[in-house]
Amino acid sequence: MELVPRPKAPKLPALPGVPGLPGPDQVVAAASNVAHKMLYGGLADLRPMPRTLIDDGTLREVYHYRPAGTVKETGDPMLLVTPLAAPAICYDLRRGCSLVEHFVTGGRPTYLLEYGEVSFRDRNLGIEHWVDEVVPTAIKVVSEHAGGRPVHVIGWSLGGIFALLTAADSPDLPIASLTVVGSPIDVSLVPLVAPLRPLLNWFNGRGPITKGYQLLGGAPKPIVKWAFQLSSFQKLVTKPLAIASHLDDAEFLAQIEAVDRFTENMIAYPGRTFGQLYHRFAKGNQLAIGTFELDDRTIDLANVRQPVLAFGGSVDGIAPVPAVRAVVPLLTGSPEVRFEVVPGGHLGMLTGRAARRTTWVAMDEWISQWSTDASEPTEQPGQAGKSGSARSASTRIGTNRSRRHSSAASRALKAK
């Protein structure tokens, strides 16, 4: 039986004359959390949200999340695009910190694109497979399943890059808006990669990395897991101390458990795709100028015709704010490009505890703004006469492409 974690115990002031000593309630809460973890294996509610498979193909699985209880779905559908190598639970991390749960309980039709397990037989699949077949098919399937409505496409990390390339390459797809979360466009601005670029270029495609992925047919799961952990090395080192100092905080411990499960379920990269990412992104940094060579054509991000919302995490080491913000001047064909800085690292900005008050709020505002459903709110309480309809407000906002902090969440973060 799954047990819902208890709320965090209130912090009590230190005992008089004993600075820093936890109060009695904190000691009791810590002991209870430890006992609960020993007896039941953990504090996190890891139950997945109920879903149904509606379409599948080669490394393509499209799911529809079923409405909860008496909730009725309304409005345009959401399609969550999973990045390669990361498990789809990035969108459904745990109850209480699940973007899927947030959308479903809010009555939004919610769908997920994931890829299943990657094996050696998939080694010849390149980025073309995702841009030409996987993502476009998923968008069409979701639109049809939702009654022909346009789709709000949300992609995290590489999933966001796939979404942008697909929209630029196929302008006729039924896309209502694009949201990219932590998607690095200019990798020269990623501190983890920048020091290695001269070395990568020196090998000129004949180095040990190239030979390794060609031999193995891709990047195996253990290497992907190690790379993700390396990007958060400081947190990994200080993790035991952080846990010890938060034993009374059930929410904190539950989040640690959920992130550990996420890391343990990393997926391999197909060989050809990994090679393209390595040579064209890490070494060539092609997207920094807004174009990407694919087969016999060049995809230009200037051809994106949908409104785009981009998020950068304030402490993201994999996709730092400048690397993500680099997409803004490239999307010259979009009616609006909005950039938000939100709290958290690469995963935390999407599904951390603070995301519930920042990232998800901005997403809700964005989706409502660009919804085709007349039942969507066009004015927030207290704003009548200030902004007019959401559509007209977006036109005015979209004329200023240099906006960095456009929502209340971003402005609050900037002020701190």
Tell me, yes or no, whether 270 lies in a domain: no
pLDDT at residue 23, rounded to an integer: 55
- Positive or negative: CA dihedral 309, 162, 345, 243: positive
Report the relative pairing of strands 60-65 and 51-57 from DSSP bridges: antiparallel
CATH number of the domain that residue 183 is part of? 3.40.50.1820
Question: pLDDT averaged over the chain?
Answer: 75
pLDDT per residue as tens digits for the range 92-125? 999 999 999 999 999 999 999 998 877 667 778 8
Tell me, yes or no, whether 70 lies in a domain: yes
Tell me, yes or no, whether 249 lies in a domain: no
Identity of the residue numbered 279:
H
Question: Contact at 8 Å (CB) between 49 and 65?
Answer: yes
pLDDT per residue as tens digits for the range 1-30? 444 454 554 444 444 444 454 555 544 444
Share of the chain above pLDDT 70, in %: 63
pLDDT at residue 275, rounded to an integer: 75
Q: How confident is the model at residue 195 (pLDDT cuts 50, 70, 90)?
A: very low
> 329: domain range?
51-190+287-372+388-415
Number of domain units in the chain: 1
Tell me, yes or no, whether 223 lies in a domain: no
Q: How confident is the model at residue 400 (pLDDT cuts 50, 70, 90)?
A: very low
Tell me, yes or no, whether 355 lies in a domain: yes
Tell me, yes or no, whether 298 lies in a domain: yes
pLDDT per residue as tens digits for the range 233-285? 444 444 455 445 545 456 767 777 888 887 787 666 676 777 777 777 777 88
Give the predicted TM-score (pTM) of the model: 0.73
SS (H, E, C) the chain: CCCCCCCCCCCCCCCCCCCCCCCHHHHHHHHHHHHHHHHHCCCCCCCCCCEEEEEEECCEEEEEECCCCCCCCCCCCEEEECCCCCCHHHCECCCCCEHHHHHHHCCCCEEEEECCCCCHHHCCCCHHHHHHHHHHHHHHHHHHHCCCCCEEEEEECHHHHHHHHHHHHCCCCCEEEEEEECCCCCHHHCCCCHHHHHHHHHHCCCCHHHHHHHHHCEECHHHHHHHHHHHCHHHHHHHHHHHHHCCCCHHHHHHHHHHHHHHHCCCCEEHHHHHHHHHHHHHCCHHHHCEEEECCEEEEHHHCCCCEEEEEECCCCCCCHHHHHCCHHHCCCCCCEEEEEECCCCCHHHHCHHHHCCHHHHHHHHHHHCCCCCCCCCCCCCCCCCCCCHHHHHHHHHCCCCCCCCCHHHHHHHHC
Tell me, yes or no, whether 66 lies in a domain: yes
Tell me, yes or no, whether 45 lies in a domain: no
Tell me how far apart the alpha carbons of residues 325 and 255 are, in angstroms, rounded to a whole number: 28
